Amino acid sequence: MPAVLEEVPINDSPLVLGVPGHYYSFFGGPLFLGIHDDKLREHYEKIKIPLNILRDDEKRRNLAELLSSLNPKPGLFSGESDLEELFPLILEQKHLYQIWKQKVNGKERSFYVPQKAFKTLLTNYVLPFVKAVPAHPSCHGGEKGWTVKKSLESHLPVVSSLTFDMSAAYHQATMNYVFEFFYDSLEGRCKTEEQRRDAAVFLSAVCTIRKDYDERREECFEASLPEGSAVSSAVFNRMLLPIDEEFSRFAEKKGIKYSRWIDDFVFTSPKKRKFNHFEYVMRKAQESFTLAPRKVFFTYEGVSYLLGHKIAYNEIEKISREEFEKQRGEPYTGGMLSDTHPWDCMYEGYEEPTCDGNDIPF
């Protein structure tokens, strides 16, 4: 099916806040901190439209100075051949992204491609700023120096394995969480608190798009990271830093290996492991975000099928999608969340939890 091109309106509607909090709150449960919601709401009410920041000469200069700090090229928002077209484009509220709809593996997917001038801003200024924040060492997808095969080689040898995916991962990374990431990343880099909030609001606005709009309510459903923008994977990877840290700590204690390829989580063991050895991460994942129910696969012993590859202990083989889908079998559905807690002794000096429900103390 040929790609179908549409235009996407810029993110110029009032923000609808979801679950408030520091970007760690993207993962729910014990990681929920809730510290920046009021800052975002108050600042957003002042400026109404995030890109209006560019209408103010002083705010625009402050923003240009900040974004140019990692890429000191002259003429941000003016004077540079591509970027000089961007400023009027934004002020006139023209389309900054184009959407390409195309069938991929039998499903229609939408890819959001930045317009030329807008792509220059994202690639030359926003992306270096994002990547100045390090991703976790266990995060491989989209990061420099990593390929799928190299990522899987870091797991060898493999006897048991567990893999699961987030459902509509970028859609879960909504603007308020993106704001939290940028706001925290800007600590100590701005002269005033207002400049810090201006920059965080602007960056979160240009990195997200609105998927739906309710005209009757005159309200925008939360904007989120678009699939197709080079900035999205970099922001997404760094937003998942807290969960990468928790899963890596768990893996080290249990003698297993962990890696993440964007929204694909991979756990492996060099010896036979029952599912309950991995149950902690499944519980934590379900508390933290929505999983794709038919993308959970567990191998107790033998050949594992991970990220389009066949792994037999110490051997990795790239296989066709058809063979991969056929050979890896049915998704794992049994005993995902039992009433027992096999992870109770994962840390030395473990004490019985005093919290209620499914909260797991760290």
> Given a cut of 90, is residue 304 above it in pLDDT?
yes
- Closest-CA residue to 101 (of 1, 188, 243, 29): 1
Q: Mean pLDDT: which of 23-27, 45-49, 288-292 is highest?
A: 288-292
Q: Taking the CB of residue 192, how many other CB atoms lie within 10 A of it?
A: 9
> What was the pLDDT predicted at 3?
39
> What was the pLDDT predicted at 85?
64
For the ranges 3-12, 80-89, 165-174, 341-350, the lowest mean pLDDT is seen at: 341-350
pLDDT, tens digit, 9 for 90 and up, residues 180-207: 899 988 988 888 888 888 888 888 888 8
> Given a cut of 60, is residue 209 above it in pLDDT?
yes
> What was the pLDDT predicted at 42?
64
> What was the pLDDT predicted at 138?
96
Categorize the per-residue pLDDT at 348 as very low, low, confident or very high, splitting at 50, 70 and 90. very low
Mean of pLDDT values over 58-75: 74
> What was the pLDDT predicted at 252?
94
Mean of pLDDT over the chain:
74
CA torsion 127→129→133→139, rounded to 10°?
Answer: 0
> What was the pLDDT predicted at 198?
86
* Angle formed by the axes of helices 175-185 and 230-239, nearest 10°: 70
Categorize the per-residue pLDDT at 308 as very low, low, confident or very high, splitting at 50, 70 and 90. very high
> What was the pLDDT predicted at 76?
59
Tell me the CA distances in angstroms from 237 to 64, 146, 178, 244, 349, one per residue in order: 25, 14, 11, 9, 32
Query: Which tokens is 221 given?
Result: 């459903």
pLDDT, tens digit, 9 for 90 and up, residues 154-181: 999 999 999 999 988 888 888 888 888 9
> Given a cut of 80, is residue 221 above it in pLDDT?
no
pLDDT, tens digit, 9 for 90 and up, residues 288-300: 888 888 889 999 9
Categorize the per-residue pLDDT at 27 as very low, low, confident or very high, splitting at 50, 70 and 90. very low
Mean of pLDDT values over 3-11: 40
Q: How far apart are CA 28 and CA 359, in angstroms?
A: 10
Q: How far apart are CA 289 and CA 25, in angstroms?
A: 10
> Given a cut of 80, is residue 217 above it in pLDDT?
no
CA 266 to chain centroid, in Å, comes to: 16
> What was the pLDDT predicted at 86?
67
Query: Which tokens is 305 given?
Result: 């099928």
Categorize the per-residue pLDDT at 232 as very low, low, confident or very high, splitting at 50, 70 and 90. very high
Query: Do 129 and 286 form a contact (C-beta atoms < 8 A)?
Result: no
Mean of pLDDT values over 133-152: 94
Q: How far apart are CA 324 and CA 305, in angstroms?
A: 7
Query: Which tokens is 86 given?
Result: 């961007």
- Closest-CA residue to 299 (of 329, 340, 341, 336): 329
> What was the pLDDT predicted at 46?
59
> What was the pLDDT predicted at 66?
84
Tell me the CA distances in angstroms from 233 to 67, 127, 281, one per residue in order: 19, 10, 22
Q: How far apart are CA 344 and CA 70, in angstroms?
A: 45
pLDDT, tens digit, 9 for 90 and up, residues 248-287: 999 999 999 999 999 999 999 999 998 888 888 888 888 8
For the ranges 32-41, 125-134, 149-158, the lowest mean pLDDT is seen at: 32-41
Query: Phi, psi at residue 225, to the nearest 5°?
Result: -65, 135
CA 270 to chain centroid, in Å, comes to: 29
Percent of the chain with pLDDT over 70: 66
First to last CA, the chain: 49
> What was the pLDDT predicted at 235?
95
Categorize the per-residue pLDDT at 214 as very low, low, confident or very high, splitting at 50, 70 and 90. very low
Domain ranges of the chain: 4-136+170-238, 160-165+240-327
pLDDT, tens digit, 9 for 90 and up, residues 90-102: 655 556 777 787 7
Which carries the bigger pLDDT value, residue 149 or residue 230? 149
> What was the pLDDT predicted at 47?
54
